[in-house]
Amino acid sequence: MTDKYRKKKIYKAKDWTEFSAESSWRMFKIMAEFVEGFEKMDKIGPCVSIYGSARTQPDNPYYQLTTEVASKLVQEGFGIITGGGPGIMEAGNKGAHQMSGKSVGLNIELPFEKYANPYVDQDKLINFNYFFVRKVMLVKYAQAFIFMPGGFGTLDELFESLTLIQTHKIERVPVVFIGRKYWEGLLNWIREVVLDMEGNISKEDLDLFFITDEPEEAVAHITNFYATQHLRPNF
């Protein structure tokens, strides 16, 4: 089978013009999601984004830690932003809800996130079709990022956030890892291999994040940062 025949076979159901037309309409759908997200999030005020696994169950200690840290952040005047789903996201919204704080859910239908959790404020629930639009909202309106234990999605958001700060594409904001046992293996690899062995980051990049097991320390790290910094959107 020739390459030319393979290409024809791939596109036999639709010609290139039809693909181009679909892309044009998709652009308007993407723009509409950005507009809705910006309009709603602009009104909410200072928030902290909490990331972590959708699979974490309510009896898991990390679920309980997330609820506690979210509650303490609300007491300091921050709202809580999560992906709106179950697990760690639910725990974050629950902590905000229990303290009558702003509880934002940026929901998307995924295998482990089919519905928004019940602790999201209904006027602060935004549904997305496009993952990358949702990720922009999680970053733009957060004055800090808290990373609880999670899987590939959490790691994706973690390294994207660090990269945006490292490259000055967003403002410098606190990045907090909660759960030493979970995160220290990864952080040791970053220090020993990525930095020392390969030189793929700078020593100063290790200062971009803070690790703790204690909700009080996580909250103090964020509030101490803003003792000398202005609260504002990241870009």
Cα–Cα dist 10/90, whole Å: 42
pLDDT at 103: 98
Considering the domain architecture, whether residues 14 and 49 belong to the same structural domain is answered as no
Considering the domain architecture, whether residues 94 and 147 belong to the same structural domain is answered as yes
Does some domain include residue 231? no
> Ramachandran region of residue 184, left (φ > 0), alpha (ψ -120 to 50) or beta?
alpha
Does some domain include residue 234? no
CA 58 to chain centre: 20
User: Which residues are paired to 48 by β-bridges?
Assistant: 80
Considering the domain architecture, whether residues 23 and 117 belong to the same structural domain is answered as no
Considering the domain architecture, whether residues 158 and 173 belong to the same structural domain is answered as yes
Considering the domain architecture, whether residues 63 and 32 belong to the same structural domain is answered as no
Domain limits for position 9: 1-43
Tokens in use for 13? 């159901």
DSSP state letters, 123-157: GGEEEES-HHHHHHHHHHTEEEEEE-S--HHHHHH
Does some domain include residue 169? yes
Does some domain include residue 143? yes
pLDDT at 6: 58
CB atoms < 10 A from the CB of 56, how many? Answer: 22
pLDDT at 153: 93
Considering the domain architecture, whether residues 134 and 29 belong to the same structural domain is answered as no
Q: How many domains does the chain have?
A: 2
Considering the domain architecture, whether residues 132 and 68 belong to the same structural domain is answered as yes
Considering the domain architecture, whether residues 84 and 11 belong to the same structural domain is answered as no
Does some domain include residue 230? no
Does some domain include residue 105? yes
Considering the domain architecture, whether residues 35 and 51 belong to the same structural domain is answered as no
Tokens in use for 12? 């036999």
Considering the domain architecture, whether residues 216 and 147 belong to the same structural domain is answered as yes
Considering the domain architecture, whether residues 5 and 55 belong to the same structural domain is answered as no
Closest CA to 46 of 74, 78, 72, 93: 78
Considering the domain architecture, whether residues 81 and 153 belong to the same structural domain is answered as yes
Cα–Cα dist 191/86, whole Å: 32
CA 206 to chain centre: 20
Closest CA to 104 of 75, 78, 72, 133: 78
pLDDT at 212: 98
Does some domain include residue 183? yes
Looking at residue 83, its amino acid is G
Tens of pLDDT, residue by residue, the chain (235 residues): 556 555 555 555 566 566 666 777 888 899 999 999 999 999 999 999 999 999 999 999 999 999 999 999 999 999 999 999 999 999 999 999 999 999 999 998 776 666 799 999 999 999 999 999 999 999 999 999 999 999 999 999 999 999 999 999 999 999 999 999 999 999 999 999 999 999 999 999 999 999 999 999 999 999 999 999 887 776 6
Does some domain include residue 233? no
Task: Assign residue 180 the CATH number of its domain.
Answer: 3.40.50.450
pLDDT at 17: 61
